[in-house]
Amino acid sequence: MRASLALIALGALAAGVAQPDGRARKRVVRRRDVEEAPVNLVILEGALARPAELRLLPSGSTLVSLEVTIATVDGPAETAPVVYFDAPAWVSSLPDKTAVLIIGRVRRRFFRFGGQTQSRTEVVARRVIRQTSVTTARRALREAGAAVEIAAYELGVPG
């Protein structure tokens, strides 16, 4: 959890909200700068617990399933299931232990199995980035930081 919060703060920094020396930088963040609803934003930094798994859906779309292990500061690592619809081809070939940055949203879906209704909470990825792609990761964090700033503004949180 702490790593995710640090990444959100880094995203706000990269979005131009503040400079490393603490001085405020003037930049207006508008809703049109952000593609997703800012109140459902997940940023995960971790490593794949198993290789990516590609599935073809009846609709013809593809789905890549990932299992991301996130290190914690004070306790055992946590694992989060991630799904990525119509992902780029390279995502489906990621091996286990690949360091990744995931930006997406939380979703709880319900389904019937064995005659009973069950549910699963997962992250629906909008972006999956190898952590070796520093420029791409910074750009994605800027976008996420803009979403956080918009949500804070709309909630009336002083900046």
Burial class (CB in 10 A: 0-12, 13-18, 19+), 56: exposed
DSSP code for 70: E
The mean pLDDT value for 15-29 works out to: 41
| 71, 98 contact by CB (below 8 A) | no
- Per-residue model confidence (pLDDT) at position 66: 97
Number of independent structural domains in the chain:
1
Domain that holds residue 83: 2-155
Q: What is the pLDDT of residues 27-84, one digit of tens each?
A: 444 444 444 444 788 999 999 999 999 999 999 999 999 999 999 888 899 999 999 9
The alpha carbon torsion through 131, 132, 136, 142 (nearest 10 deg) reads: 50
Q: Terminus-to-terminus CA distance in the chain, angstroms?
A: 22
Give the domain CATH number at 137. Answer: 2.40.50.140
- Per-residue model confidence (pLDDT) at position 33: 46
Amino acid in the structure at residue 12? A
The mean pLDDT value for 109-115 works out to: 91
| 98, 66 contact by CB (below 8 A) | no
| 85, 63 contact by CB (below 8 A) | yes
- Per-residue model confidence (pLDDT) at position 14: 37
The mean pLDDT value for 74-98 works out to: 95
